[in-house]
Amino acid sequence: MSLETIIPALTDPDEECCALVLMGGGARTAYQAGVLHALASMLGLASNASDPPFPFKILVGTSAGALNATYLASRVGEGLNAFAHLANFWSTLRSSQVYQLKVPAWIRSSRIAAALFLSQQVRAQQAFLNNTPLVDTLHKAISLGSIEQALQDNTLNALAVTASSYTSGVHWTFCQLAGGRQVESWSRPGRRAEFQPITIEHLMASSALPFIFPSTPLWVDGRREFFGDGSMRQSSPLSPAIHLGASKVMVIGVGQPERAGFASTPEASAVSAGSRPTLGAIAGHAMASVFQDTLQADVEQAQRVSKTMRQMPHDIAAIMPYRPVDVLAISPSQSLDALAQAHAGELPAATYNALAGLGALGDKGSPGGAALASYLLFEPGFVKALMALGEHDAYARKEELLAFFGLGSGR
């Protein structure tokens, strides 16, 4: 990653612009709604305004995080109430509104039968699950016209959604800008930007979990390409926000950098000693790598470079074509795999049977095996637990969050 990619100079150096970057993770992204709901309460209490405005001018989302970002973009005119609406959206969501799967009950008793049956499903529809219900859910929940209005009113500067092209292998960022706003396009090895209105098709493409949901066609460079989850090949998740003019970036991930640690507990060791990982455990590990690894590295590098720039003599820093960027990253403090294992019984019967057949619901004391289920558990118990954890983690960093927005004791 180049220095120019991390901190290019601002078009308007006098404008302080805060961006929200929401990473992907399927059902896990309900955690983001909890963090933001708590943030809204903090900002409302700390602000001197009777009706505090929406705190972000740029919204960037990947995968299911793109759904959250776009939902918020459609409600920025409601100020902090937008976050309450997002929390309510997640509270009423069900798996049946996201995907469909039909499998016989006996499939859970045989991993070989489960693998064969699901391979037939994949050949028939190019994916494990049918996500057609999500199209209707998004059309009902998100007003694309409201997004355009917010951009025209300059309540919002930009909305960006990322997706990965199976056709070309390029990672694309699709950007919709405020009227009259000029942002230079960017093209880096393996990743590019495209300026076009965000549609439901962009959201379906960005959230198409590999192997689980089918690809979605989009038009780029005058041709149709097929896209999958934006977390794939996402080497620099903070880059779009910074290219779009952010001077401060709040990023909410839902990965667990220490997830391998709970395989070393005495209980897990007793269960897994001498046994190979199940197909579900391997799939969960692969998904965790897709949704977490690059964020950690990108945040650390941006913070390190920005710190270095702030330590430069003022006269030298003033002539450099770069700027420091404040980055605040929040991610779960507890195991989401363990939460998923505790709530696995809420899954639709067909999904539960299929995952059980693949060994993807974990064993007692070994929550890592339930990682795959955690991406598909769009059910009230799991969502409520995720949102509660998000609120808890946000309040644990209350002073840091308020200082980030120039409020509280840190101002």
As annotated, the active-site residues are 63, 229
d(CA 155, CA 178): 9
What the block records as the tokens of 321 is 């074509």
Strands (E), 295-370: 326-330
Would you give the DSSP letter of residue 271? H
Q: Which letter does DSSP use for residue 6 in this model? A: H
Q: Which helix (H) or strand (E) holds 173?
A: strand 171-177
The tokens for 209 are: 């979990």
CB atoms within 10 A of CB 62: 32
Contact call for residues 109 and 359 (beta carbons, < 8 A): no
Contact 348, 95 (CB under 8 A): yes
In eight-state DSSP terms, residue 204 is: H
Q: How many residues does the chain have?
A: 411
Contact 271, 363 (CB under 8 A): yes
Tokens of 237: 């998740």
Query: Contact 76/152 with Cβ under 8 angstroms?
Result: no
Sign of CA dihedral 220, 221, 226, 232: negative
Angle between helix 64-73 and 144-152 (nearest 10): 60
* Among 247, 249, 255, CA closest to 231: 255
Q: What is the CA radius of gyration of the chain?
A: 21
Residue 230 φ/ψ, nearest 5 degrees: -70, -15
Tokens 């299929």 identify what position?
A: 354
Tokens at 183, concatenated: 């942002």
